[in-house]
């Protein structure tokens, strides 16, 4: 009986985990902590995705996003970060950002596209904004993003 009980407990745990993942992919994340960032005179209201599950879900299922809002992905250590648009219906631009807030490279990403878009060098930060936001502000590789998370 104890072996059967262990198997059932394991199965219940796996079922709960799968249900949680399915639910997370159907409901957009709107309640993450927020942080103010600045790009020159422009203010960004960034949701902060710092936990693995938050980064995994990202902006999936979001139907719209205000022009001054974005999502900042924060990783524990620098690495070549790659993003795709699975289950993300918004056209976005990803800014891959160095520890000091310098934009390393930008990548325009199309809705629902599963192609990877990667940083050119290892980074810890990626900021996703509505596609065209960076270009409309004249921001490109080498531009600075300011915020409490970036070292000076």
Q: Which domains does the chain have, with CATH numbers?
A: 30-136 (2.60.120.1140)
Residues 6+ apart with CB under 8 A from 27: 61
For 38-51, the pLDDT digits (tens) are 999 999 999 999 99
Cα four-point dihedral sign 33, 72, 62, 85: negative
Higher-pLDDT residue of 100 and 20 is 100
The pLDDT-based confidence of 6 (bands split at 50, 70, 90) is low
Whole-number pLDDT of residue 81 = 98
3-state SS string for 77-95: EEECCEECCCCCCCCEEEE
For 141-152, the pLDDT digits (tens) are 999 999 999 986
The answer, as to whether pTM is greater than 0.85, is no
């Amino acid at each position: 009986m104890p072996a059967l009980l262990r198997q059932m407990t394991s199965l219940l745990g796996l079922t709960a985990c799968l249900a949680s993942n399915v639910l997370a992919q159907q409901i957009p994340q709107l309640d993450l902590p927020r942080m103010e960032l600045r790009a020159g005179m422009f203010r960004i209201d960034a949701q902060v995705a710092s936990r693995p599950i938050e980064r995994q879900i990202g902006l999936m299922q979001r139907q719209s996003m205000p022009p001054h809002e974005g999502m900042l992905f924060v990783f524990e250590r620098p690495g070549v970060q790659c993003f795709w648009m699975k289950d993300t219906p918004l056209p976005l631009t990803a800014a891959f950002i160095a520890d000091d807030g310098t934009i390393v490279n930008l990548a325009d990403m199309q809705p629902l596209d599963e192609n990877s878009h990667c940083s050119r060098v290892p980074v810890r930060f990626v900021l996703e904004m509505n596609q065209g936001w960076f270009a409309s502000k004249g921001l490109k590789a080498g531009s600075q993003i300011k915020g409490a998370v970036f070292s000076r």
